[in-house]
Chain A
Amino acid sequence: MQSFIQLFVSGLATGAIYALAAVGFTLIWQTSQTINFAQGEFVMLPAFFVLAAMDIFGLAFPAACFVGLAASMLVLGVLFKRGIVDFMLPHGVLPLVISTIALSLLLKESVKTFYSSQAQPFPPLTSDIDINILGAIVSVQSVFVLGAAIAAIAALHLFLGHTGVGRQMQATAQNPAVAVLLGIPTKRMIMYTFVINAGLVGLASILISPIYLAKFTNGDSLGLAAFVAAIVGGFNQVRGAIVGGLVLGVFENLSAAYLSSSYRGAFPMILLVLVILFRPQGLLGRVEERTV
């Protein structure tokens, strides 16, 4: 039982990171039909912004985190939208998908070439101690990651649901043609979702890198996890992405421990196949109406 709680909490922590990436993934899908296959690399890169801010500019870690987040919002938010999405989206979803695949390779290889191919140690966010919850030993790190991710998603939820701008963003996602008629600046709203996505992946990067170390290949598994989490939860629902991320993290951890650790990478795929077979709209997704 103790080990179960331990595994469950650390699974939730990993899942919360997946959820951050998956939420951003569904946000930009909803507002601009962008399926970002570079989302994993988007989680990998901000950690290197932070490291570069520390190594090159000699900033302290907390300041470097802010710089990393700001750089992430600028590069992965504004520049990504202006430089790639705006050009490719008019040509259709598929050319954009291929562009994001190219972008993922570019980001990965750039980090390898210009920074390092070695895994870089990343400063810890919390002290490396364990606490005792119901007799189970749980690391403070896991609890912190989970808490920070929940706080970020709660803040996003409040912003989207309870502010004028947030509702204008939702309106833009749900019915862009009508949003324009009401004078909603839809282009700006779409840009906001890209910046929010960049902020979420930046946070995910800072949270996960102390555990995984910062490495140029980190995006491979994270991107896949974000994609699976988004599909499992329901591609068109932010809350679906949250549930999908958490379910995936816990499922992955428990199945690796109790079933087979050598098949750790396979279990998310099994979950994905089961969901696609039995609930193709995702756990919380709604069936999308299509006009043929």
Chain B
Amino acid sequence: MTILNGASFCVRRAAITTIIGPNGAGKSTVFKTIFGLLRARTGQIRFDGNDITNAGPRRLLEAGICYVPQGRNIFPELSVRHNLELGAVAAKRGLDVAARIEAAMDRFPMLRRKSNNQASTLSGGEQKLLEIARGLLLDPKLVLIDEPSIGLSPLMVRETFDILQDLRARGVSVLMVEQNAKSALGISDDGIVLELGRTRMTGAAAALLNDPKVGQLFLGGASGAEPAGATP
């Protein structure tokens, strides 16, 4: 089955780009295709000028891309520390993994506090932090993050978004899919509207937020002039 057909967009360096669109638009499929989990039959994906179409996860990790999928992505019966260490499987030879883990624990003190606990004992928000910390272990240049806010408390959502903004400040590019489109666009530089596997609109996040058409279709009508569902 063809899911994506006419999905074309760029992600700028050191910017947060959010993909929005209705259910079934193919948002998660975009990520899976970029990360080589699904094959692209045609088209091309380029990263830093290199063709990475249909490259496997290992090569993408080495190139500096990490992918944090939606839902729970930990190894429940391993300790927090061991979960974190597995983020360095694709590390280049000679990388000081222990130092990276120390740095990650300095950045997220919760991980140090609970480093010997089984990962399954963490709360949903803590698990998400662990996943993000694990993804950042190899200093990626591009972070693909799918629905980071799902199932998290508002406080944790804010913390997650803070991390993404912090990444941007350090020159990392972030590509995010987020159900909670309004707050996601709020912290984003660019936005992409995806519908039925096709890019409908791209542009500055602020412009999309204020676009009445986008507002009606995807943002619950809040920023549009008419209530949602009024247009056929």
Q: Which residues of A contact B (CB under 8 A)?
A: 164, 167-168, 170-171, 174-175, 177-185
Contact = CB atoms under 8 A, between A and B. Distances in A.
Given A177-B73, A181-B67, 4 more contacts: A174-B75, A180-B37, A182-B86, A184-B89
Contact of B86 (A168, A177, A185): A168
B166 interface: no
B30 to A, nearest CB: 15
Interface of B: 35, 37, 57-58, 61-62, 67, 69, 73-78, 82, 85-87, 89-90, 134
Contacts of B35: 181
Contacts of A182: 57, 61, 86-87, 89-90, 134
A168 B83 CA distance: 10
A133 B73 CA distance: 51
Contact of A183 (B61, B74, B82): B61
Contacts of B134: 182
Nearest to B131: A178
Task: Give the dominant DSSP class at A's interface.
Answer: helix
Contacts of B73: 175, 177-178, 181
Contacts of A171: 75, 78, 86
Given A167-B85, A171-B86, A178-B73, A183 B78 contact: no
A182 B91 CA distance: 10
Contacts of B87: 182
21 contacts: A164-B85, A167-B85, A168-B89, A170-B78, A171-B75, A171-B78, A171-B86, A175-B74, A175-B76, A177-B69, A179-B86, A181-B69, A182-B57, A182-B86, A182-B89, A182-B90, A183-B61, A183-B62, A183-B89, A184-B86, A185-B58
B58 A174 contact: no
A218 B200 CA distance: 67
Given A174-B76, A175-B75, A167 B67 contact: no
Nearest to B119: A174
A178 B58 contact: no
A182 B82 CA distance: 13
A290 B44 CA distance: 37
